[in-house]
Chain A
Amino acid sequence: MKRWMACLLALVMALSLAACGASGSAAKTAQNRLEKIKAQGYIEVATEPYFAPYEFIDSSKSGQEQYVGVDIELAKAIAQDLGVELRVVPLEFSAVLAGIADGKYDLAISAIAYSPLRAETIGMSKGYSFVEGGGYGLLVRTADLDKYTGIESLANAVVVTQSGSVQESLVNDQVPKYKEFKRVSAMTDGMLMVGENKADVCVCEISNGQLYADANPGYSLSIVPNFLFTVDESMEGTRVAITKGETELTDAVNATIDRLTAAGQIEQWYTQYAAYAKTLGVQ
């Protein structure tokens, strides 16, 4: 009995030693990410598929086909330009950011906006989506439309937005006074809180907020008209996130973005997928 246990223990130790050795040798033969992608023949792109019309799931399809949206089209274009197969990896947003910072995946394309804090840990591509009529605004209950008109009117409001988002830093930087600032893990939860009277104002991307308002007529929500947060030019547009230090891969991604932007392709996808997202609702 004892001998048997000793054998088992020895085996476990041998295994863990082997594991250490393997990771050591893998690090030595490191090549840059772009070469690795081309050699393996596929590119892994992490995304949080819960954000229509940028990335969402069409449940009537299966496998890789079910992921649709503007960002998925962009990912396809990048894969095509590199001549490799695309593999979408769905994850929650916090796991998307953790995964790309750690280098677990090749790219993260998930309507990721630029923020200086993010840029410290993650590499960023050029901005690609500057959709007209987009931008960051306020979602409120329709009955409160005359109460909340802009930043100054928020002094007595309970403000909510997604934690770790650009919207959060906008509130921190630009809103001088609020009654309370709540943070939630998903933007839709913030919008739900406004609908359920748990918060007064949700700071959100206005096209996303409008989709939510349209899908939940029972809540009677509206976007505050004629108001947008002023966004620094360097912060504009959503980005492709890349593990820090991968310049070759960043250049390749930027080349694809340049090509698509010049052709006006992103806007076209946006219109197409905003309509697509509406057909998935049940109202």
Chain B
Amino acid sequence: METMVKLWSRYSSTFLQGLGGTLWLAAITVVVGSLLGLVVALLRMSHLKVLKMITSVYVEVLRGTPILLQLYFFWLVLPKILPIEMSDTACIVVALIVNSSSYVCEIIRAGIDAVDKGQWEAARSLGMSHIHMMQRVILPQAVRNILPALVNEFIVMIKETSLASVFFVGELMTSYRTVSASTFIQIPTLTIVGLIYLIVTFTLSQAAKFFERRLKASD
């Protein structure tokens, strides 16, 4: 306990910087990942067989391989195939975004599928075009199913980004490695970092619950 206080007073800025890095990474991953996920979900629900096949392969590959493997893969391969210069952090962010998009795609698809069949039929019988129907009838209702799950995805990403510490992108787990390597003190450092993760994820999951209740209230 005493060691933890000493560690905190000396290295609090390192831990807070790490927390900032983790939140930034998770936020950018989920925001951009959601946009990409939306596109993939729409393609996946299209009537074109080819698109359906390509997107389902995309989702299956990304969900069926470990995220650490994907991080290594993108880190090594991306700079080779892209004509522009990519920093390591950029490679890792792209890998996380692509990974997240596959999960978000399934969240969105499930959210849209969960909208009552009657709503589709009603919209179609009013003579709405497909795009119009999606925009005005289906998506607004699907959002209610999707948003709480997206907050959950954000919480998951906060934890997943810890794997990026292998590539030193400056998140919370990197702070643990930095501090424990220069002080040689591990368990108290781990405890501090664990508490920070817990405070953040617990706050977020409470917020998600509150949010979900508010959305349900309109039923």
Chain B nearest Cβ from A3, distance in angstroms? 11
Given A5-B46, A57-B178, A282-B3, A91–B183 Cβ distance below 8 Å? no
Determine which residue in A18, A22, A95, A212 has the highest number of CB atoms from chain B within 10 A of its CB, and name it: A95
Task: Establish whether residues B79 and A104, one from each chain, have CB atoms under 8 Å apart when the complex forms.
Answer: yes
Chain A nearest Cβ from B197, distance in angstroms? 19
Task: Establish whether residues A23 and B80, one from each chain, have CB atoms under 8 Å apart when the complex forms.
Answer: yes
Chain A residues, CB < 8 A from B11: 59
Given A9-B51, A20-B81, A92-B165, A1–B182 Cβ distance below 8 Å? no
Q: Using a CB-CB cutoff of 8 Å, which residues 23-49 of chain A contact chain B?
A: 23, 49
Q: How many A residues, CB 8 Å from partner?
A: 40
Question: Across the two chains, which residue of chain B brings its CB closest to A12?
Answer: B54
Residues 42-84 of chain A, each 1 if its beta carbon lies under 8 Å from chain B, else 0: 0000000111100011110000000000000000000000000
A170 within 8 A of B: no
Question: Which of these, A9, A22, A104, A188, contacts B76 with CB under 8 Å?
Answer: A104
Chain A residues, CB < 8 A from B181: 49-52, 56-57, 188
Question: Across the two chains, which residue of chain A brings its CB closest to B87?
Answer: A89
Question: Which of these, B10, B54, B179, B184, contacts A212 with CB under 8 Å?
Answer: B184
B36 within 8 A of A: no
Given A20-B81, A89-B88, A59–B179 Cβ distance below 8 Å? yes
B202 within 8 A of A: no
Question: Which of these, A89, A92, A277, contacts B182 with CB under 8 Å?
Answer: A277
Question: Which of these, B7, B14, B48, contacts A282 with CB under 8 Å?
Answer: B7
Q: Using a CB-CB cutoff of 8 Å, which residues 184-209 of chain A contact chain B?
A: 188-189, 192
Task: Establish whether residues B178 and A1, one from each chain, have CB atoms under 8 Å apart when the complex forms.
Answer: no
Task: Establish whether residues A59 and B81, one from each chain, have CB atoms under 8 Å apart when the complex forms.
Answer: no
Docked complex Cα distance between A179 and B30 (Å):
48
A19 within 8 A of B: yes
Question: Across the two chains, which residue of chain A brings its CB closest to B83?
Answer: A22
Chain B residues, CB < 8 A from A49: 168, 178, 181
Given A90-B168, A91-B167, A92-B165, A58–B182 Cβ distance below 8 Å? yes
Chain A residues, CB < 8 A from B6: 282
Chain A residues, CB < 8 A from B205: none
Given A9-B51, A91-B167, A281–B79 Cβ distance below 8 Å? no
Task: Establish whether residues A92 and B166, one from each chain, have CB atoms under 8 Å apart when the complex forms.
Answer: yes
Chain B residues, CB < 8 A from A94: 166
B141 within 8 A of A: no
A98 within 8 A of B: yes
Residues 78-92 of chain B, each 1 if its beta carbon lies under 8 Å from chain A, else 0: 011111000010000
A211 within 8 A of B: yes
Docked complex Cα distance between A281 and B179 (Å):
9
Docked complex Cα distance between A2 and B65 (Å):
31
Docked complex Cα distance between A91 and B87 (Å):
13
Chain A residues, CB < 8 A from B165: 92
Task: Establish whether residues B184 and A91, one from each chain, have CB atoms under 8 Å apart when the complex forms.
Answer: no
Determine which residue in B3, B166, B167, B184 has the highest number of CB atoms from chain A within 10 A of its CB, and name it: B184
Task: Establish whether residues A23 and B81, one from each chain, have CB atoms under 8 Å apart when the complex forms.
Answer: yes
Question: Which of these, B3, B48, B166, B182, contacts A59 with CB under 8 Å?
Answer: B182
A215 within 8 A of B: yes
Residues 4-22 of chain A, each 1 if its beta carbon lies under 8 Å from chain B, else 0: 0100110000001011101
A102 within 8 A of B: yes
Question: Which of these, B72, B80, B131, contacts A98 with CB under 8 Å?
Answer: B72
B119 within 8 A of A: no
Instruction: Beyond A215-B183, A282-B10, list 19 extra A-B contacts (CB 8 Å).
Output: A1-B46, A5-B43, A5-B51, A19-B82, A19-B83, A20-B81, A49-B168, A50-B180, A57-B181, A58-B182, A59-B11, A59-B13, A59-B14, A91-B168, A95-B75, A189-B186, A215-B184, A216-B184, A280-B182
Ranked nearest first, the 3 interchain pairs of A and B with the lowest CB-CB distance are A50-B181, A215-B184, A22-B83
Residues of A participating in the B interface, judged by any CB pair closer than 8 Å: 1-2, 5, 8-9, 16, 18-20, 22-23, 49-52, 56-59, 89-92, 94-95, 98, 102, 104, 188-189, 192, 211-212, 214-216, 277, 280-282
28 A-B contacts (beta carbon < 8 Å): A2-B47, A5-B43, A5-B46, A8-B43, A18-B83, A20-B81, A22-B81, A50-B178, A51-B181, A52-B181, A57-B181, A58-B182, A59-B11, A59-B14, A90-B168, A91-B88, A91-B167, A91-B168, A92-B167, A92-B168, A95-B166, A102-B76, A104-B79, A188-B180, A277-B182, A280-B182, A281-B182, A282-B185
